Amino acid sequence: MSDPTPLSAIVIAAGEATNIESCLQTLAWCDERLVVDAFSADGTPSAAPAGTRVVERRFTTFAAQRQEALARAAYDWVFFVDADERVSDALAVEVRARAGREAHAAYDVPRLNLIFGHWMRGSGWAPDHQLRVMDRRRVHYPVERAVHEVPDVDGSIGVIEAPLVHHSYRTIREFRRRQRRYARMQARSLFQAGVRRRRTAVVAQPLREIRRRLVEYNGYRDGWVGVQLALLMAEYEWRLQRGLARCWRRGAPTG
């Protein structure tokens, strides 16, 4: 068998000093470990293990950060991992065995999500496939997608079997803080795209989200955690719709 395809592991970071070392240790098998840091004030770059290449870039959107990371990577095949994620030995072996050896341009990787100390079974967090392994020559992140960025792929997409472990939200407070930020970013993005919603959306969309999380996404399988997350995501939708309406009233994105 030929030598493995050289691979760059990329972590997009902002204020991840407590996570970055543990994450990058699970990526020691990669040919390059690259951190694109948004000028973190908590010492994230210095917390990275020796041998890690750190590039600092002012944060605009997640898509823009990822697109810049693709341009900065040393190798054409890249593996995006978040700072609160961990790569198992099984996942490392499978990525090494498949990336660049098959006809696919990119690969979906399944995630196991730990939220509020609970391993998710539904609610929109299971199954949870993320496009993370890719040939940078055949992908592009549209920068207008502010959050939940997904690249355009020129070619077929394979599916990795071994999961990526995600130590996600630990507390409700952390969840709400991050979702408030995402709602502001998404409202700006929708406004800039010219999207308008009915006035009733501020009520209808949160109610729809509760039903979607609990019924369509089988949130009932997660018990009380599933109920909490359905309500929290309804709050996210309420903030998003309210923020979008405010954008149109003011004629400019909200801050």
- DSSP string of 77-122, one letter each residue: EEEE--TTEEE-HHHHHHHHHHTTTSS-SEEEEEEEEEETTEE-SS
What pLDDT was estimated at residue 21? Answer: 97
Nearest CA among 228, 137, 251, 232 for reference residue 183:
232
Q: Is residue 39 a contact partner of residue 64, using CB atoms and an 8 Å limit?
A: no
**Distance separating alpha carbons of residues 205 and 217, to the nearest angstrom:** 16
Nearest CA among 107, 250, 90, 228 for reference residue 165:
90
What pLDDT was estimated at residue 47? Answer: 95
**And the tokens for 46?**
């210095």
User: Taking the alpha carbons of 246, 248, 249, 252 in that order, is the dihedral positive or negative?
Assistant: positive
What pLDDT was estimated at residue 254? Answer: 46
User: What predicted TM-score, i.e. pTM, was given to this entire model?
Assistant: 0.89
* Comma-separated ranges of CATH 3.90.550.10 domains in the chain: 7-167
What pLDDT was estimated at residue 154? Answer: 97
Question: Can you name the CATH fold of 7-167?
Answer: Spore Coat Polysaccharide Biosynthesis Protein SpsA; Chain A (3.90.550)
Q: Is residue 197 a contact partner of residue 241, using CB atoms and an 8 Å limit?
A: yes
| Mean pLDDT, the chain cut into blocks of 10 residues (255 residues total) | 87 96 98 97 94 95 93 98 97 97 97 98 95 97 77 97 96 96 90 88 96 97 98 97 91 54
What pLDDT was estimated at residue 189? Answer: 86
Q: What count of other Cβ atoms lies within 10 Å of the Cβ of residue 2?
A: 6
Q: What count of other Cβ atoms lies within 10 Å of the Cβ of residue 164?
A: 24
What pLDDT was estimated at residue 255? Answer: 45
What pLDDT was estimated at residue 3? Answer: 81
